[in-house]
Structure 1
Protein backbone atom coordinates (compact mmCIF):
# COMPACT_ATOMS: atom_id res chain seq x y z
CA UNK A 1 0.00 0.00 0.00
CA UNK A 2 1.05 3.63 0.17
CA UNK A 3 0.11 5.61 3.26
CA UNK A 4 3.09 7.93 3.74
CA UNK A 5 5.47 9.47 1.25
CA UNK A 6 7.90 12.30 0.49
CA UNK A 7 7.25 15.22 -1.86
CA UNK A 8 9.55 18.17 -1.29
CA UNK A 9 10.30 19.30 -4.85
CA UNK A 10 9.98 22.98 -5.74
CA UNK A 11 7.31 23.75 -8.35
CA UNK A 12 9.85 24.60 -11.02
CA UNK A 13 11.80 21.38 -10.54
CA UNK A 14 8.61 19.33 -10.46
CA UNK A 15 7.16 20.63 -13.72
CA UNK A 16 10.53 20.37 -15.46
CA UNK A 17 11.02 16.73 -14.51
CA UNK A 18 7.45 15.83 -15.43
CA UNK A 19 7.51 17.88 -18.66
CA UNK A 20 4.34 19.59 -17.49
CA UNK A 21 2.96 23.08 -16.93
CA UNK A 22 1.52 24.71 -13.84
CA UNK A 23 -0.43 27.81 -12.95
CA UNK A 24 1.83 30.69 -11.98
CA UNK A 25 0.10 30.85 -8.58
CA UNK A 26 0.53 27.17 -7.79
CA UNK A 27 1.96 26.62 -4.33
CA UNK A 28 3.38 23.35 -3.05
CA UNK A 29 4.25 22.65 0.57
CA UNK A 30 7.41 20.62 0.90
CA UNK A 31 6.77 17.55 3.04
CA UNK A 32 8.90 14.59 4.09
CA UNK A 33 5.91 12.93 5.76
CA UNK A 34 2.87 13.24 3.51
CA UNK A 35 -0.20 11.53 4.98
CA UNK A 36 -3.74 10.90 3.65
CA UNK A 37 -5.99 14.00 3.52
CA UNK A 38 -2.92 16.18 2.77
CA UNK A 39 -2.86 18.47 -0.26
CA UNK A 40 -0.52 16.90 -2.83
CA UNK A 41 0.56 17.58 -6.42
CA UNK A 42 -0.88 15.41 -9.17
CA UNK A 43 -0.22 15.31 -12.91
CA UNK A 44 -3.02 15.04 -15.44
CA UNK A 45 -3.66 15.83 -19.09
CA UNK A 46 -6.51 17.92 -20.46
CA UNK A 47 -7.68 18.86 -23.93
CA UNK A 48 -7.59 22.64 -24.35
CA UNK A 49 -8.83 23.89 -27.72
CA UNK A 50 -7.96 20.56 -29.30
CA UNK A 51 -4.43 20.37 -27.86
CA UNK A 52 -3.31 18.10 -25.02
CA UNK A 53 -1.78 19.91 -22.04
CA UNK A 54 0.02 18.09 -19.25
CA UNK A 55 -0.64 20.00 -16.04
CA UNK A 56 0.27 19.91 -12.35
CA UNK A 57 -2.58 20.54 -9.92
CA UNK A 58 -2.98 20.27 -6.16
CA UNK A 59 -5.46 17.67 -4.88
CA UNK A 60 -6.51 16.28 -1.51
CA UNK A 61 -5.13 12.77 -1.04
CA UNK A 62 -8.20 10.57 -0.58
CA UNK A 63 -10.65 10.32 -3.47
CA UNK A 64 -14.11 11.83 -3.07
CA UNK A 65 -16.48 10.67 -5.85
CA UNK A 66 -18.78 13.26 -7.39
CA UNK A 67 -21.88 11.59 -5.92
CA UNK A 68 -20.61 11.59 -2.31
CA UNK A 69 -22.74 13.40 0.24
CA UNK A 70 -19.78 14.12 2.50
CA UNK A 71 -16.10 14.60 1.55
CA UNK A 72 -15.12 12.55 4.61
CA UNK A 73 -15.43 9.41 2.45
CA UNK A 74 -12.04 10.32 1.02
CA UNK A 75 -10.36 9.37 4.30
CA UNK A 76 -10.86 5.72 3.41
CA UNK A 77 -10.04 6.05 -0.30
CA UNK A 78 -6.39 7.12 -0.44
CA UNK A 79 -5.52 3.80 -2.14
CA UNK A 80 -7.46 1.86 -4.77
CA UNK A 81 -6.93 -1.86 -5.36
CA UNK A 82 -6.19 -2.45 -9.05
CA UNK A 83 -8.04 -5.78 -8.97
CA UNK A 84 -11.38 -4.13 -8.13
CA UNK A 85 -10.98 -0.51 -9.23
CA UNK A 86 -13.05 -1.04 -12.40
CA UNK A 87 -16.04 -2.31 -10.40
CA UNK A 88 -15.99 -0.25 -7.20
CA UNK A 89 -18.50 2.65 -7.40
CA UNK A 90 -16.00 4.98 -5.72
CA UNK A 91 -13.41 4.55 -8.47
CA UNK A 92 -14.90 3.16 -11.69
CA UNK A 93 -15.97 6.48 -13.24
CA UNK A 94 -12.57 8.03 -12.58
CA UNK A 95 -10.81 5.04 -14.13
CA UNK A 96 -12.63 5.68 -17.39
CA UNK A 97 -12.00 9.40 -17.69
CA UNK A 98 -9.98 10.92 -14.86
CA UNK A 99 -6.62 9.20 -14.61
CA UNK A 100 -3.63 10.99 -13.13
CA UNK A 101 -0.16 10.36 -11.80
CA UNK A 102 1.00 11.12 -8.27
CA UNK A 103 4.69 12.12 -8.16
CA UNK A 104 6.69 11.15 -5.08
CA UNK A 105 10.36 11.22 -4.12
CA UNK A 106 9.89 7.98 -2.25
CA UNK A 107 7.48 6.36 0.17
CA UNK A 108 7.58 4.74 3.60
CA UNK A 109 6.65 1.21 4.54
CA UNK A 110 6.93 -0.66 7.83
CA UNK A 111 8.31 -4.18 8.21
CA UNK A 112 7.17 -6.28 11.13
CA UNK A 113 9.80 -7.81 13.38
CA UNK A 114 9.92 -11.62 13.61
CA UNK A 115 8.22 -11.51 17.03
CA UNK A 116 5.51 -9.16 15.72
CA UNK A 117 6.05 -6.71 18.58
CA UNK A 118 7.71 -3.90 16.63
CA UNK A 119 8.06 -2.50 13.12
CA UNK A 120 11.05 -1.08 11.26
CA UNK A 121 10.22 1.79 8.85
CA UNK A 122 11.87 1.84 5.44
CA UNK A 123 12.20 4.62 2.89
CA UNK A 124 11.67 3.26 -0.65
CA UNK A 125 13.05 5.43 -3.44
CA UNK A 126 14.86 5.55 -6.76
CA UNK A 127 18.63 5.15 -6.56
CA UNK A 128 19.19 8.20 -8.75
CA UNK A 129 16.98 10.46 -6.63
CA UNK A 130 14.53 11.17 -9.43
CA UNK A 131 10.77 11.13 -9.02
CA UNK A 132 8.61 8.03 -8.95
CA UNK A 133 5.19 8.53 -10.51
CA UNK A 134 2.37 6.35 -9.22
CA UNK A 135 -0.75 5.57 -11.23
CA UNK A 136 -3.66 7.47 -9.74
CA UNK A 137 -7.20 8.66 -10.26
CA UNK A 138 -8.79 12.03 -9.58
CA UNK A 139 -12.28 13.42 -9.08
CA UNK A 140 -14.03 16.76 -8.67
CA UNK A 141 -16.59 17.07 -5.86
CA UNK A 142 -19.05 19.96 -5.67
CA UNK A 143 -19.83 21.24 -2.18
CA UNK A 144 -23.62 21.76 -2.05
CA UNK A 145 -23.36 23.98 1.03
CA UNK A 146 -21.50 26.76 -0.79
CA UNK A 147 -22.59 29.38 -3.29
CA UNK A 148 -22.04 28.74 -6.99
CA UNK A 149 -19.48 31.53 -7.22
CA UNK A 150 -17.49 30.49 -4.13
CA UNK A 151 -13.79 29.99 -4.87
CA UNK A 152 -13.64 26.80 -2.80
CA UNK A 153 -16.89 25.19 -3.97
CA UNK A 154 -15.02 22.49 -5.91
CA UNK A 155 -12.75 19.92 -4.24
CA UNK A 156 -10.13 18.11 -6.30
CA UNK A 157 -9.09 14.78 -4.79
CA UNK A 158 -7.01 11.77 -5.77
CA UNK A 159 -6.07 8.19 -4.96
CA UNK A 160 -3.07 5.94 -5.65
CA UNK A 161 -3.50 2.52 -7.27
CA UNK A 162 -1.96 -0.54 -5.65
CA UNK A 163 -1.20 -4.05 -6.87
CA UNK A 164 0.08 -7.27 -5.35
CA UNK A 165 3.67 -7.21 -4.13
CA UNK A 166 6.31 -9.41 -5.78
CA UNK A 167 6.62 -13.05 -4.76
CA UNK A 168 8.36 -13.63 -1.47
CA UNK A 169 10.96 -15.76 -3.23
CA UNK A 170 11.97 -13.04 -5.67
CA UNK A 171 15.58 -11.96 -5.73
CA UNK A 172 17.04 -8.59 -4.83
CA UNK A 173 14.86 -5.55 -4.29
CA UNK A 174 11.69 -7.37 -5.31
CA UNK A 175 12.17 -9.89 -2.54
CA UNK A 176 12.79 -7.07 -0.08
CA UNK A 177 9.59 -5.35 -1.17
CA UNK A 178 7.67 -8.58 -0.70
CA UNK A 179 8.86 -8.64 2.89
CA UNK A 180 7.59 -5.13 3.57
CA UNK A 181 3.94 -5.40 2.58
CA UNK A 182 1.60 -7.51 0.47
CA UNK A 183 0.58 -4.44 -1.57
CA UNK A 184 2.68 -2.24 -3.83
CA UNK A 185 1.81 1.23 -5.20
CA UNK A 186 1.72 1.02 -9.01
CA UNK A 187 4.68 2.88 -10.59
CA UNK A 188 4.63 4.20 -14.14
CA UNK A 189 7.35 4.08 -16.78
CA UNK A 190 7.70 7.02 -19.18
CA UNK A 191 5.67 5.27 -21.91
CA UNK A 192 3.01 3.91 -19.58
CA UNK A 193 2.74 7.35 -17.95
CA UNK A 194 1.92 8.90 -21.33
CA UNK A 195 -0.68 6.22 -22.08
CA UNK A 196 -2.23 6.42 -18.61
CA UNK A 197 -2.65 10.21 -18.76
CA UNK A 198 -3.98 10.37 -22.32
CA UNK A 199 -7.39 12.10 -21.90
CA UNK A 200 -8.88 10.21 -24.83
CA UNK A 201 -7.13 6.96 -24.00
CA UNK A 202 -8.43 3.54 -24.97
CA UNK A 203 -10.21 0.88 -22.98
CA UNK A 204 -9.54 1.54 -19.27
CA UNK A 205 -9.05 -2.15 -18.49
CA UNK A 206 -6.40 -2.40 -21.20
CA UNK A 207 -4.68 0.68 -19.80
CA UNK A 208 -4.78 -0.89 -16.37
CA UNK A 209 -3.23 -4.08 -17.73
CA UNK A 210 -0.53 -2.01 -19.44
CA UNK A 211 0.61 -0.21 -16.29
CA UNK A 212 0.41 -3.34 -14.16
CA UNK A 213 2.52 -5.33 -16.63
CA UNK A 214 5.57 -3.17 -15.98
CA UNK A 215 5.04 -2.38 -12.30
CA UNK A 216 7.41 -4.96 -10.83
CA UNK A 217 10.11 -4.20 -13.41
CA UNK A 218 10.07 -0.55 -12.33
CA UNK A 219 10.09 -1.47 -8.65
CA UNK A 220 13.11 -3.73 -9.18
CA UNK A 221 15.26 -0.61 -9.69
CA UNK A 222 14.37 0.96 -6.33
CA UNK A 223 16.34 1.09 -3.10
CA UNK A 224 15.11 0.38 0.43
CA UNK A 225 16.72 2.20 3.36
CA UNK A 226 15.86 1.59 7.03
CA UNK A 227 15.02 4.91 8.70
CA UNK A 228 14.26 6.15 12.19
CA UNK A 229 11.02 5.64 14.07
CA UNK A 230 10.23 9.38 14.06
CA UNK A 231 8.49 8.99 10.70
CA UNK A 232 5.70 7.15 12.50
CA UNK A 233 4.43 10.44 13.92
CA UNK A 234 2.97 12.61 11.15
CA UNK A 235 3.83 15.72 13.15
CA UNK A 236 7.49 15.02 12.46
CA UNK A 237 8.42 16.53 9.11
CA UNK A 238 12.01 17.17 8.08
CA UNK A 239 14.62 15.84 5.63
CA UNK A 240 16.19 13.87 8.46
CA UNK A 241 13.29 11.39 8.28
CA UNK A 242 14.78 9.90 5.10
CA UNK A 243 18.32 9.49 6.48
CA UNK A 244 19.27 5.79 6.72
CA UNK A 245 19.95 4.34 10.17
CA UNK A 246 21.93 1.37 11.36
Structure 2
Protein backbone atom coordinates (compact mmCIF):
# COMPACT_ATOMS: atom_id res chain seq x y z
CA UNK A 1 0.00 0.00 0.00
CA UNK A 2 1.12 3.56 -0.52
CA UNK A 3 0.20 6.41 1.82
CA UNK A 4 3.14 8.68 0.98
CA UNK A 5 4.50 9.71 -2.37
CA UNK A 6 6.46 12.47 -4.05
CA UNK A 7 4.42 14.25 -6.69
CA UNK A 8 5.83 16.08 -9.72
CA UNK A 9 5.99 19.83 -10.07
CA UNK A 10 3.93 21.69 -12.67
CA UNK A 11 7.06 22.08 -14.81
CA UNK A 12 7.71 18.33 -14.66
CA UNK A 13 4.12 17.62 -15.73
CA UNK A 14 4.52 20.00 -18.65
CA UNK A 15 7.82 18.45 -19.71
CA UNK A 16 6.51 14.88 -19.46
CA UNK A 17 3.07 15.28 -21.02
CA UNK A 18 3.04 18.60 -22.85
CA UNK A 19 0.27 20.04 -20.71
CA UNK A 20 0.58 22.63 -17.97
CA UNK A 21 -1.54 22.44 -14.80
CA UNK A 22 -3.54 25.48 -13.72
CA UNK A 23 -1.73 25.86 -10.42
CA UNK A 24 0.86 24.38 -8.07
CA UNK A 25 0.10 21.64 -5.57
CA UNK A 26 2.00 19.92 -2.77
CA UNK A 27 4.74 17.54 -3.83
CA UNK A 28 5.22 15.76 -0.48
CA UNK A 29 1.87 14.00 -0.51
CA UNK A 30 -0.08 12.17 2.19
CA UNK A 31 -3.81 11.27 2.36
CA UNK A 32 -5.91 14.43 2.33
CA UNK A 33 -3.27 16.46 0.48
CA UNK A 34 -3.87 17.75 -3.04
CA UNK A 35 -1.94 16.46 -6.03
CA UNK A 36 -2.12 16.09 -9.80
CA UNK A 37 -3.86 13.32 -11.70
CA UNK A 38 -4.34 12.68 -15.41
CA UNK A 39 -7.50 11.75 -17.30
CA UNK A 40 -8.41 11.36 -20.95
CA UNK A 41 -8.94 14.56 -22.92
CA UNK A 42 -12.35 13.28 -24.02
CA UNK A 43 -13.51 13.72 -27.61
CA UNK A 44 -10.50 15.88 -28.38
CA UNK A 45 -8.13 13.05 -27.41
CA UNK A 46 -4.87 13.60 -25.57
CA UNK A 47 -4.58 14.11 -21.84
CA UNK A 48 -6.07 16.39 -19.24
CA UNK A 49 -4.46 17.24 -15.91
CA UNK A 50 -6.50 18.04 -12.80
CA UNK A 51 -5.83 18.62 -9.12
CA UNK A 52 -7.58 16.58 -6.49
CA UNK A 53 -7.53 15.24 -2.95
CA UNK A 54 -5.42 12.12 -2.38
CA UNK A 55 -8.10 9.76 -1.07
CA UNK A 56 -11.33 9.06 -2.93
CA UNK A 57 -14.47 10.89 -1.81
CA UNK A 58 -17.63 9.06 -3.00
CA UNK A 59 -20.89 10.96 -3.39
CA UNK A 60 -22.05 9.94 0.10
CA UNK A 61 -18.94 11.17 1.94
CA UNK A 62 -19.81 13.48 4.85
CA UNK A 63 -16.52 15.36 4.73
CA UNK A 64 -12.98 15.19 3.37
CA UNK A 65 -11.74 13.25 6.40
CA UNK A 66 -12.79 10.05 4.62
CA UNK A 67 -9.77 10.53 2.33
CA UNK A 68 -7.55 9.31 5.16
CA UNK A 69 -9.04 5.81 4.63
CA UNK A 70 -9.59 5.72 0.85
CA UNK A 71 -6.19 6.63 -0.60
CA UNK A 72 -5.61 3.03 -1.78
CA UNK A 73 -8.14 0.69 -3.39
CA UNK A 74 -7.74 -3.08 -3.44
CA UNK A 75 -8.36 -3.94 -7.08
CA UNK A 76 -9.81 -7.33 -6.13
CA UNK A 77 -12.74 -5.71 -4.31
CA UNK A 78 -13.10 -2.39 -6.14
CA UNK A 79 -16.35 -3.39 -7.82
CA UNK A 80 -18.05 -4.16 -4.48
CA UNK A 81 -16.67 -1.72 -1.92
CA UNK A 82 -19.06 1.23 -1.33
CA UNK A 83 -16.23 3.76 -1.45
CA UNK A 84 -15.00 2.69 -4.88
CA UNK A 85 -17.67 0.76 -6.76
CA UNK A 86 -19.25 3.72 -8.58
CA UNK A 87 -15.89 4.95 -9.90
CA UNK A 88 -14.86 1.40 -10.85
CA UNK A 89 -18.10 0.46 -12.59
CA UNK A 90 -18.18 3.74 -14.51
CA UNK A 91 -14.50 3.38 -15.49
CA UNK A 92 -13.46 6.73 -14.05
CA UNK A 93 -9.83 5.87 -14.63
CA UNK A 94 -6.96 8.21 -13.91
CA UNK A 95 -3.19 8.14 -13.67
CA UNK A 96 -1.38 9.55 -10.65
CA UNK A 97 2.16 10.62 -11.67
CA UNK A 98 4.85 10.25 -9.01
CA UNK A 99 8.54 11.00 -8.82
CA UNK A 100 8.77 8.38 -6.09
CA UNK A 101 6.72 6.35 -3.66
CA UNK A 102 7.69 5.58 -0.07
CA UNK A 103 7.28 2.26 1.72
CA UNK A 104 8.45 0.96 5.13
CA UNK A 105 11.16 -1.73 5.11
CA UNK A 106 10.85 -3.97 8.19
CA UNK A 107 13.63 -6.48 7.39
CA UNK A 108 15.87 -5.04 10.11
CA UNK A 109 13.13 -5.45 12.72
CA UNK A 110 12.15 -1.77 12.65
CA UNK A 111 10.51 0.44 10.05
CA UNK A 112 12.97 2.08 7.65
CA UNK A 113 11.44 4.58 5.20
CA UNK A 114 12.43 3.66 1.66
CA UNK A 115 12.19 5.75 -1.51
CA UNK A 116 11.27 3.78 -4.63
CA UNK A 117 11.78 5.22 -8.12
CA UNK A 118 12.03 4.11 -11.73
CA UNK A 119 15.57 3.22 -12.75
CA UNK A 120 15.27 5.23 -15.95
CA UNK A 121 14.34 8.40 -14.05
CA UNK A 122 10.85 8.53 -15.52
CA UNK A 123 7.69 9.28 -13.61
CA UNK A 124 5.93 6.37 -11.95
CA UNK A 125 2.49 6.19 -13.58
CA UNK A 126 0.05 4.83 -11.01
CA UNK A 127 -3.32 3.52 -12.17
CA UNK A 128 -6.16 4.99 -10.16
CA UNK A 129 -9.80 6.01 -9.94
CA UNK A 130 -11.19 9.52 -9.58
CA UNK A 131 -14.41 11.04 -8.28
CA UNK A 132 -16.14 14.42 -8.05
CA UNK A 133 -17.83 15.19 -4.73
CA UNK A 134 -19.74 18.22 -3.43
CA UNK A 135 -19.31 19.45 0.11
CA UNK A 136 -22.04 20.94 2.32
CA UNK A 137 -21.63 24.35 0.64
CA UNK A 138 -21.91 22.86 -2.85
CA UNK A 139 -18.21 23.25 -3.63
CA UNK A 140 -17.00 20.57 -6.04
CA UNK A 141 -13.99 18.60 -4.84
CA UNK A 142 -12.12 16.19 -7.12
CA UNK A 143 -10.35 13.23 -5.53
CA UNK A 144 -8.44 10.10 -6.48
CA UNK A 145 -7.23 6.76 -5.19
CA UNK A 146 -4.40 4.39 -6.18
CA UNK A 147 -5.25 0.84 -7.25
CA UNK A 148 -3.24 -1.92 -5.56
CA UNK A 149 -2.51 -5.60 -6.24
CA UNK A 150 -0.87 -8.43 -4.33
CA UNK A 151 2.94 -8.30 -4.25
CA UNK A 152 3.82 -11.41 -2.21
CA UNK A 153 5.90 -12.75 -5.12
CA UNK A 154 7.30 -9.46 -6.42
CA UNK A 155 11.10 -9.46 -6.19
CA UNK A 156 11.22 -5.90 -4.80
CA UNK A 157 7.88 -4.95 -3.29
CA UNK A 158 7.54 -8.15 -1.22
CA UNK A 159 10.16 -6.70 1.17
CA UNK A 160 7.96 -3.87 2.46
CA UNK A 161 5.40 -3.49 5.24
CA UNK A 162 5.21 -5.61 8.39
CA UNK A 163 6.30 -9.26 8.08
CA UNK A 164 2.88 -10.58 9.07
CA UNK A 165 0.99 -8.39 6.59
CA UNK A 166 0.03 -9.24 3.04
CA UNK A 167 2.42 -7.51 0.66
CA UNK A 168 0.74 -5.02 -1.67
CA UNK A 169 1.92 -2.64 -4.38
CA UNK A 170 0.33 0.09 -6.45
CA UNK A 171 -0.43 -0.67 -10.09
CA UNK A 172 2.32 0.98 -12.14
CA UNK A 173 1.71 1.41 -15.86
CA UNK A 174 4.15 1.43 -18.75
CA UNK A 175 4.31 4.74 -20.61
CA UNK A 176 2.77 3.14 -23.67
CA UNK A 177 -0.35 2.12 -21.75
CA UNK A 178 -1.46 5.62 -20.70
CA UNK A 179 -4.24 6.17 -23.22
CA UNK A 180 -5.34 2.54 -23.12
CA UNK A 181 -5.90 2.67 -19.35
CA UNK A 182 -7.68 6.01 -19.46
CA UNK A 183 -10.15 4.91 -22.13
CA UNK A 184 -10.68 1.19 -21.48
CA UNK A 185 -14.23 0.18 -20.46
CA UNK A 186 -14.83 -1.15 -16.97
CA UNK A 187 -15.17 -4.74 -18.13
CA UNK A 188 -11.60 -4.73 -19.48
CA UNK A 189 -9.91 -2.91 -16.59
CA UNK A 190 -8.55 -6.08 -14.99
CA UNK A 191 -6.15 -6.64 -17.90
CA UNK A 192 -4.05 -3.69 -16.67
CA UNK A 193 -3.71 -4.91 -13.08
CA UNK A 194 -0.24 -6.41 -13.41
CA UNK A 195 3.00 -6.15 -11.47
CA UNK A 196 5.54 -3.66 -12.75
CA UNK A 197 8.89 -5.40 -13.41
CA UNK A 198 11.13 -5.28 -10.35
CA UNK A 199 14.25 -4.75 -12.46
CA UNK A 200 12.83 -1.42 -13.68
CA UNK A 201 12.61 -0.07 -10.13
CA UNK A 202 15.19 0.91 -7.52
CA UNK A 203 14.94 1.46 -3.78
CA UNK A 204 16.95 3.64 -1.41
CA UNK A 205 16.61 3.82 2.37
CA UNK A 206 15.94 7.38 3.55
CA UNK A 207 15.91 6.88 7.32
- What TM-score, normalized by structure 2, do the two folds share? 0.88
The RMSD of aligned alpha carbons is 1.9
Q: Give the alignment partner of residue 136 of structure 2, picking from 126, 133, 144.
A: 144
Question: Which runs of 5 or more residues in structure 2 are unaligned?
Answer: 162-166
Shift of 1:120: 1.5
Mapped to 2, the partners of 1:137 and 1:15 lie a distance apart of 22
Number of the residue aligned with 2:81: 88
Number of the residue aligned with 1:156: 142
Mapped to 1, the partners of 2:126 and 2:133 lie a distance apart of 22
The structure having more radius of gyration, on CA atoms, is 1
Number of the residue aligned with 1:126: 118
Q: Does 1:206 align with 2:206?
A: no
Q: Give the alignment partner of residue 192 of structure 1, picking from 163, 177, 180.
A: 177
Mapped to 1, the partners of 2:118 and 2:12 lie a distance apart of 17
CA contact (8 A) 2:124 2:173 kept: yes
Q: Equivalent residue of 1:191, what SS? A: helix
Number of the residue aligned with 1:237: none
Q: Does 1:112 align with 2:93?
A: no
Number of the residue aligned with 2:36: 41
Q: Equivalent residue of 2:191, what SS? A: helix
- What TM-score, normalized by structure 1, do the two folds share? 0.75
Q: Does 1:98 align with 2:92?
A: yes
Number of the residue aligned with 1:227: 206
CA contact (8 A) 1:22 1:55 kept: no
Mapped to 1, the partners of 2:126 and 2:141 lie a distance apart of 21
Question: Which runs of 5 or more residues in structure 1 are unaligned?
Answer: 147-152, 168-173, 229-246
Q: Equivalent residue of 1:125, what SS? A: strand
**Cα 1:105/1:43, change in 2 over 3 Å:** same
Paired residue total: 201
Shift of 1:216: 3.2
Mapped to 2, the partners of 1:110 and 1:89 lie a distance apart of 28
Q: Which whole-Å deviations, capped at 9, do the CAs of 1:171-197 have from their partners, x for residues lacking one?
A: xxx423211140101101123321111
Mapped to 1, the partners of 2:25 and 2:65 lie a distance apart of 23
Q: Which whole-Å deviations, capped at 9, do the CAs of 1:59-79 have from their partners, x for residues lacking one?
A: 110100022233322221000
CA contact (8 A) 1:15 1:56 kept: no
